[in-house]
Amino acid sequence: MTNKPVSLDAAVDALPYNRLSWWLDRLVAGVGRWCSWLWLAVLAVVLSNVFSRFVMNEGSIALEELSWHFFGAAMMLTLGYAVVRDDHVRVDVLREKFSLKAQAWIELVAIVLLALPILYLMIDALVPYAYKAYTFSERSQAPSGLPHRFIFKSVLPLGLMLVAVALFSRGLRCATFLFRFPREIQPGTDERDGTHPHP
Per-residue pLDDT band for 198 (boundaries 50, 70, 90) equals: low
Is the pLDDT assigned to residue 27 strictly greater than 60? yes
pLDDT digits (tens, 9 = 90+) for 68-103: 999 999 999 999 999 999 887 776 777 778 899 999
Tell me if 158 is assigned to some domain: yes
Whether the CB-CB separation of 18 and 185 falls below 8 Å is answered with: yes
Query: Which of 25-39, 82-96, 183-197 shows the lowest mean pLDDT across its residues?
Result: 183-197
- Model pLDDT for residues 145-178, shown as the tens digit of each residue: 899 999 999 999 999 999 999 999 999 999 999 9
> Range of 177's domain?
8-91+98-185
In a domain, 41, yes or no: yes
pLDDT at 188: 59
Residue 194 inside a domain? The answer is no
Single pTM value for the model: 0.84
Determine if the peptide bond prior to 182 is cis (ω within 30°): yes
Domain tally, the chain: 1
| Other CB atoms within 10 Å distance of the CB of residue 58 | 10
The answer on pLDDT for 11 being more than 90 is no
- Banded model confidence at residue 6, pLDDT cuts 50, 70, 90: very low
- Note the maximum CA span of the chain: 67
Residue 51 has pLDDT above 70, yes or no: yes
Q: Between 32 and 55, whose confidence is greater?
A: 32
In a domain, 59, yes or no: yes
